[in-house]
Amino acid sequence: MTKTENTIEVKKLTKKFKKFTAVDSISFDVKKGEIFGFLGPNGAGKSTTIRMLTTLLTPTSGTAMVEGHDIKKDQNEVRKRIGLVAEKIILYNHLSAMENLEFFGKLNHLSKDEIKKRSERWIERLGMEEWKDAQASTYSTGMKQRINIVRALLTEPDILFLDEPTLGLDPQTTFMIRTFIQELNKKGITIILTTHDMIEAEALSDRVAIIDHGKIQALDTVENLKKKVENKKNPTLEDVFLQVTGLDIRDKRGKAKRAGGPPWRGGGENRVR
């Protein structure tokens, strides 16, 4: 099945922090029902983009529509349709999983019954039932992240944003979360996933956008991106990524530090477009 209907339309979206441009006039669409991978090195502008699309941050210029609603003008309509698993886990340590979920559910005007029903369903699926009444302070990072995901699902969103959901987790939890993301997608939820894990991006994404220095440098299916890699047999997504973004290591501001001579860098004419 090809997915053609746009659920998110981003046009020239820009975010400046004082004089620094973190997101530089990016435009792209996300199709209804797809898993859209948003890849980029540290400081590329992934989280800033996600924060604008989820109405947490006001764009400096440009627009984006989420299911036909403007992220600047119709924030409440946008919020009703989306869930966000943010980069930083937001849980109250002195509350249990269930208490945390009740708190966040009530902020979203859900009834106690709805919160309980929805929470228990996902808690069970994510293997957290034994822990649901224990204080969050006793949870591992992987357990906290699973509750964080349940929290994002409480409002039954059509679109789920996940900002590096498996960063720093052990392989078992990572596997569980990846499988779960695919399951949610099969139920019809559109997924926007940021990661710098190439295996994750390749395994999950229908299409991938590679962002660097606040700009989209490449956007296509993984298969098509690989076709554009030069001077390499059987290229991987990592080859694509390195050819698009280069080998320089980024500092916190996303500025490049020279890491020696990448063979394909130089002119820029070899870059994947």
Ligand X SMILES: Nc1ncnc2c1ncn2[C@@H]1O[C@H](COP(=O)(O)OP(=O)(O)O)[C@@H](O)[C@H]1O
Site residues, Mg ion (CB under 5 A): 46-47
Q: Residue 262's binding partner, choosing from Mg ion, ligand X, none, with beta-carbon cut-off 5 to 8 A by kind?
A: none
Q: Residue 42's binding partner, choosing from Mg ion, ligand X, none, with beta-carbon cut-off 5 to 8 A by kind?
A: ligand X
Report in angstroms how near the CB of residue 43 gets to ligand X at its nearest. 4
Q: Residue 105's binding partner, choosing from Mg ion, ligand X, none, with beta-carbon cut-off 5 to 8 A by kind?
A: none
Complex with Mg ion: residue 46 or 207, whichever CB lies closer: 46
Amino acid at 214: G
Told to check if 44 binds ligand X by CB under 6 A, we report yes
CA 162 to CA 193: how far, in whole Å?
5
Told to check if 17 binds ligand X by CB under 6 A, we report yes
Residue from 10, 33, 34, 40 touching ligand X (CB under 6 A): that is: 40
Residue from 37, 43, 62, 165 touching ligand X (CB under 6 A): that is: 43
Complex with ligand X: residue 87 or 114, whichever CB lies closer: 87
Residue from 4, 42, 93, 141 touching ligand X (CB under 6 A): that is: 42
Complex with ligand X: residue 47 or 155, whichever CB lies closer: 47
Told to check if 109 binds ligand X by CB under 6 A, we report no
* Interaction residues for ligand X, span 228-267 (CB under 6 A): 252-254
Residue from 7, 39, 46, 181 touching ligand X (CB under 6 A): that is: 46
Instruction: Encode the chain in three state secondary structure.
Output: CCCCCEEEEEEEEEEEECCEEEEEEEEEEEECCCEEEEECCCCCCHHHHHHHHCCCCCCCEEEEEECCEECCCCHHHHHHHEEEECCCCCCCCCCEHHHHHHHHHHHCCCCHHHHHHHHHHHHHHCCCHHHCCCEHHHCCHHHHHHHHHHHHHCCCCCEEEEECCCCCCCHHHHHHHHHHHHHHHHCCCEEEEEECCHHHHHHHCCEEEEEECCEEEEEECHHHHHHCCCCCCCCCHHHHHHHHHCCCEECCCCCEECCCCCCCCCCCCCCCC
Q: Residue 166's binding partner, choosing from Mg ion, ligand X, none, with beta-carbon cut-off 5 to 8 A by kind?
A: none
- Tokens 């956007």 sit on residue: 219
Q: Residue 252's binding partner, choosing from Mg ion, ligand X, none, with beta-carbon cut-off 5 to 8 A by kind?
A: ligand X
Report in angstroms how near the CB of residue 54 gets to Mg ion at its nearest. 13
Task: Enumerate binding residues for ligand X (CB under 6 A).
Answer: 17, 22, 40, 42-48, 252-254
